Amino acid sequence: MAGVSTATVTRALSTPEVVRPDTRERVREVAASLGYHPNRAARGLITGRTGNLGLLVPDLANPFFPSIVKGVQARAHEADHAVFLADTDEDVAAEAGLVRKLAKQVDGMVLCSPRMAEPELRKLSAEVPTVLVYRRIPGVPSVTAEFLDGMRQAVNHLVALGHKEIAYVAGPRSSWANRERVRSLRAVTRKAGVELAEMGNVAPQFHGGVSVADRVLAAKVTAVIAYNDLVALGLLHRFAARGVAVPGDVSVLGFDDIPLAEMVHPALTTVALPKEEAGQAGVDLLLRLLDGHQEVRRELPTQLMVRGSTGPAR
């Protein structure tokens, strides 16, 4: 319709600088008037790039993840990539299979804090360009946050309030994030001369916090740090039911800063992890990886959000 060959059409659209300006404009106008867009499947066939990214999350119902998905989504669309989403429903066994299935149709994958074992994950990352979000494995590009610094802020805050004995409610043993948090917390409390009572491991969910709340009280601590906000909310819930005042009797501190943290009463003091930013950074790293660059790792800052659930020690 523009009186040119298909080759010129393709050039006018994807490498505009090589066609004469008037031809280019004509082609583009006709394309627009026809609503023509190149078929991505056909293009992928020859370029080897699909323009699609895969994103894997363990459980979208955990409010931590939707924010990450949003970040990935937004950044990917900016870069004109579409996003395949897979939710494993915390099914570790299914994870690898899902990734492999998706791998065929994408240029690369963003894996969001998978529980998968390290060797498996490493193998996967050799098969398909992969970026890890909130998990770190040597040699695999990853986005994480400064857990150590976050913990330091949290503990310093509690110390400043006069707390000397702190409980930590641990998350799943197989979770990398939990191991990191424990490690950071031990280091920080040792340095601060604070006594640390570890308990758990609980499921990283509301009911996990509910189930461990009574043990926390029995430990006679004046403050408790939870693996994440959901667990902290579970603690708050059970404390309220037992008539334990927060922060009067015990201070509660979470991790993640999910939206709910602000909505409950008392609002939850928590260490905010970058979520949308992490998703965006994940996509950035992945796209750069696809372009041959080899940026290995990015570590984002954390920020203590002081709200109502922490106060002076009893």
Partner DNA sequence: TCGCTCCATGAAAAGGTTTACACTGATCGT
Partner DNA sequence: ACGATCAGTGTAAACCTTTTCATGGAGCGA
**Minimum distance from residue 291 beta carbon to DNA (Å):** 14
Residue 3 touches DNA, criterion: CB under 7 A: yes
What is d(CA 271, CA 301) in angstroms, rounded to the nearest whole number? 10
Return the one option of a copy of itself, DNA, none that residue 74 interacts with (CB less than 5 to 8 A, by type).
a copy of itself
**Minimum distance from residue 73 beta carbon to a copy of itself (Å):** 5
Task: Tell me which stretch binds DNA (CB under 7 A): 7-15, 122-130, 229-237, 260-268.
Answer: 7-15
Q: Residues 114 to 173: which contact a copy of itself by CB under 8 A?
A: none
| Residue nearer to a copy of itself on the CB measure, 82 or 160 | 82
Instruction: Write each residue from 247 to 286 as x if it is in contact with DNA (CB under 7 A), else as -, in one continuous string.
Output: ----------------------------------------
Q: Residues 178, 171: contact at Cβ < 8 Å? A: yes
Q: Which of residues 13, 60, 74, 137 is near DNA by CB under 7 A?
A: 13
Residue 88 touches DNA, criterion: CB under 7 A: no
| Residue nearer to DNA on the CB measure, 10 or 303 | 10
Lookup: tokens for 117: 């074992």
**Residue 122 backbone phi and psi in degrees, to 5:** -65, -40
| CA–CA distances in Å: residue 302 to residues 136, 189, 250, 310 | 16, 18, 24, 18
Residue 25 touches DNA, criterion: CB under 7 A: no
Q: Give the helix, strand, coil percentages of the chain, each rounded to 5.
A: 45, 20, 35
Q: Which of residues 1, 32, 34, 45 is near a copy of itself by CB under 8 A?
A: 45
| Residue nearer to DNA on the CB measure, 47 or 156 | 47
Return the one option of DNA, a copy of itself, none that residue 265 interacts with (CB less than 5 to 8 A, by type).
a copy of itself
Q: Which of 186, 195, 269, 274 is nearest to 235 (CA)?
A: 269
Lookup: tokens for 131: 């970026």
What stretch of H or E contains 132? strand 130-133
CA 55 to centroid of chain Cα atoms: 11
Lookup: tokens for 210: 């509910």
Q: Residues 44 to 83: which contact DNA by CB under 7 A?
A: 45-47
| Burial class of residue 185, CB neighbours in 10 A (0-12, 13-18, 19+) | buried
What is d(CA 38, CA 87) in angstroms, rounded to the nearest whole number? 30
Q: How many CA atoms lie within 13 A of 116 on its CB side?
A: 29
Residue 108: strand pairing partners: 53
**Minimum distance from residue 13 beta carbon to DNA (Å):** 6
**Minimum distance from residue 83 beta carbon to DNA (Å):** 20
**Minimum distance from residue 14 beta carbon to a copy of itself (Å):** 16
Residue 36 touches DNA, criterion: CB under 7 A: yes
Q: Which of residues 147, 168, 206, 255 is near a copy of itself by CB under 8 A?
A: 206
Q: Distance between terminal CA atoms of the chain?
A: 81
Residue 98 touches a copy of itself, criterion: CB under 8 A: yes
Return the one option of a copy of itself, DNA, none that residue 128 interacts with (CB less than 5 to 8 A, by type).
none
Residues composing the chain: 314
What is d(CA 77, CA 257) in angstroms, rounded to the nearest whole number? 25
Residue type, 247: P
Residue 74 touches a copy of itself, criterion: CB under 8 A: yes
**Chain residues in the site for a copy of itself (CB under 8 A):** 37, 39-42, 44-45, 50, 52, 55, 60-61, 63, 65-67, 69-70, 73-74, 77, 82-87, 89, 98, 101-102, 104-105, 206, 233-234, 236-237, 240-241, 259-260, 262-265
